[in-house]
Amino acid sequence: MTGRTVRVAAVGDIHLAPDTAGRYRPAFESLGGTADLLLLAGDLTRHGTVDEARTVAAEVAGLPVPVVAVLGNHDHHHGCPDDVVAVLQEEGGVTVLEGSAVTLAVDGRQVGVAGTKGFGGGFAGRCGSEFGEDEMKAFVRYSRSLADGLRTALDELAACDLRIALTHFSPVPDTLAGEPLEIYPFLGSYLLAEAIDEGGADLAVHGHAHAGTERGMTAGGVHVRNVAQPVIRHAFALYELHPADRAEDGRSAG
């Protein structure tokens, strides 16, 4: 870390399995010189099996920076997300967030990360609502409950110098540009953006939209970055943030 800069490395949708073991390890091992933390924005595995989770854990175990993750929809596919989380935590040393937060000390400052997988439903004015069939109500309620968890987790970070919201699904349509419009409701939800704006954050990071674009912003002015691996086209993306500068020049941190 140099001066007031906090350096955040982030990638999502790495979809590791035993046949791709070691693919990211060389790049991740270099993080000690370039980043202060690594964020994994979900879809770490292909099918959410324990074997695949072990591959992910081995990929990040013992890295020189803390690793914070959320799961993605792929990590739920096999029906054992709790086992995936346990492997990531116990074998990989990863902090896995779901409606929760972690605070990291970075060069004397408190960097908070709040996370949820999130879910779909669409974006304001073009979204599902709790109406009609029980299945539709359950869909929207699930998305809302995860967004509420993110809001609560961000609230817990109010005293941090820098706050980051980490999700798998997208909080904004901006970073979906390039995806077919028809599938936007399956790629994210405005409820996440609303939670981020109300809870407050300096940066929101997500994955899931492989054909989207990297940069976006919430209605409240929070920078959003889609770090899905096919979007960033590197082992990870690197972002430098200057929280103290924001406070000093009077700009809102979201």
Partner 1 sequence: MKPVDRTSGPESTGHAEYRAARLQERLAAGPFAELALRIEFRGDAVLVRAVAATAACRSYLLDAVAEEFAGFHVHTDIALADTSLPDHPETVQ
**Stretch binding partner 1 (CB under 8 A), from 116-124, 146-154, 165-173, 233-241:** 233-241
Q: Which two tokens stand for residue 69?
A: 């993750």
Instruction: Rule CB under 8 A: say whether 4 interacts with partner 1.
Output: no
Kindly state the smallest distance separating residue 230's Cβ from partner 1, in Å. Answer: 4
Nearer to partner 1 by C-beta: 130 or 245? Answer: 245
In angstroms, rounded to a whole number, what is the distance separating the alpha carbons of residues 53 and 33?
Answer: 26
Question: Of the candidates 67, 68, 88, 203, which one interacts with partner 1 according to CB under 8 A?
Answer: 203
CA 174 to centroid of chain Cα atoms: 16
Instruction: Rule CB under 8 A: say whether 253 interacts with partner 1.
Output: no
Locate the DSSP E strands across the chain: 6-11, 37-41, 67-70, 95-96, 100-106, 109-116, 122-123, 126-127, 162-167, 203-206, 215-217, 223-226, 237-241
Question: Of the candidates 21, 27, 58, 244, which one interacts with partner 1 according to CB under 8 A?
Answer: 27
Question: Of the candidates 1, 138, 238, 247, which one interacts with partner 1 according to CB under 8 A?
Answer: 238
Kindly state the smallest distance separating residue 62's Cβ from partner 1, in Å. Answer: 19
Instruction: Rule CB under 8 A: say whether 20 interacts with partner 1.
Output: yes
Supply angle C-alpha 223, 225, 229, rounded to 5. Answer: 175
Question: Of the candidates 36, 38, 46, 85, which one interacts with partner 1 according to CB under 8 A?
Answer: 46
At 4 the three-state DSSP class reads: coil
**Stretch binding partner 1 (CB under 8 A), from 26-34, 85-93, 130-138, 143-151:** 26-34
Question: Of the candidates 4, 21, 61, 77, which one interacts with partner 1 according to CB under 8 A?
Answer: 77
In angstroms, rounded to a whole number, what is the distance separating the alpha carbons of residues 217 and 226?
Answer: 11
Contacts of 35 (CB under 8 A, 6+ apart): 7, 8, 9, 65, 236, 238
Question: Of the candidates 105, 130, 230, 248, which one interacts with partner 1 according to CB under 8 A?
Answer: 230
In angstroms, rounded to a whole number, what is the distance separating the alpha carbons of residues 191 and 51?
Answer: 33
Instruction: Rule CB under 8 A: say whether 180 interacts with partner 1.
Output: yes
**Stretch binding partner 1 (CB under 8 A), from 111-119, 129-137, 193-201, 224-232:** 224-232
Rounded CA Rg of the chain: 17
Q: Which residues bind partner 1 (CB under 8 A)?
A: 7, 15, 19-20, 23-24, 27, 30, 34, 46-47, 74, 77, 180, 202-203, 210-211, 223, 225, 229-230, 232-242, 245-246
